[in-house]
Amino acid sequence: MIVLIGGEKGGTGKTTIATNLAAMRALSGRDVLMIDTDPQGSANYWAQSRDEMDITPRVACVQKFGKGLPAEVKDLATRYEDIIIDAGGRDSVELRSAMVVAHKAYIPIQPSQFDIWTLNQMDELVETAKAFNPDLQAWVIISRSSTNPSVHESDDTVEILNDFTNLSLSPTGIKDRIAYRKAASSGLGVSELKPRDAKAVEEMETLYKEVFSDE
């Protein structure tokens, strides 16, 4: 399966989601490849840290850029069971190209008006991609939301999502938890982090089951 984690807005936790899914997929015994199309290279640095610390299972990662991305992804898909693409937080050639070959796209946004404003553009990008990739399915994930139960900042976002034709709301939400940052700095997924943050693990396990429910 080819899964794209991307969007137009930066700082929404795309790399956190991509690296955690990749680690969990590798732990399940799958041969997974991460493709980092973000010039910042955060996912690639995470994978390198994992290699340097001899963390197993290994998660392979390559950086790919440019209009040739679809052909390269299709070629790599013949050698790996799953590919997870981490696209940068902007409307880029790489983001548009990845949509042409992905089976599923997940678009993390923070529950803020600034992030919501990007959804019109994302809805249009998915619609354009479907002309070449009609089976593409796209979901919006509310990410990095407050862990305070009294804060209901996600409510307006959920209502607004009903207005989009090509985007669905993921039932899974990802909170802004310290465990995700601790895991990332150690080349780990939260499911590998000690001590274990049960809530973070539950979030990622729920998302993992959602993403790979067809497998």
pLDDT digits (tens, 9 = 90+) for 172-207: 999 999 999 999 999 999 999 999 999 999 999 999
Domains of the chain and CATH, by start: 2-211 (3.40.50.300)
Q: What is the pLDDT of residues 89-118, one digit of tens each?
A: 667 899 999 999 999 999 999 877 777 778
Write down the pLDDT at residue 16.
96
Distance CA(43)–CA(49), nearest Å, equals 10
- pLDDT confidence tier of residue 153, bands split at 50, 70 and 90: low
Task: Say how far apart CA 159 and CA 156 lie, in whole Å.
Answer: 5
- At residue 208, what are phi and psi to the nearest 5 degrees? -55, -45
**Model pTM score:** 0.92
In one-letter notation, the amino acid at residue 198 is: A
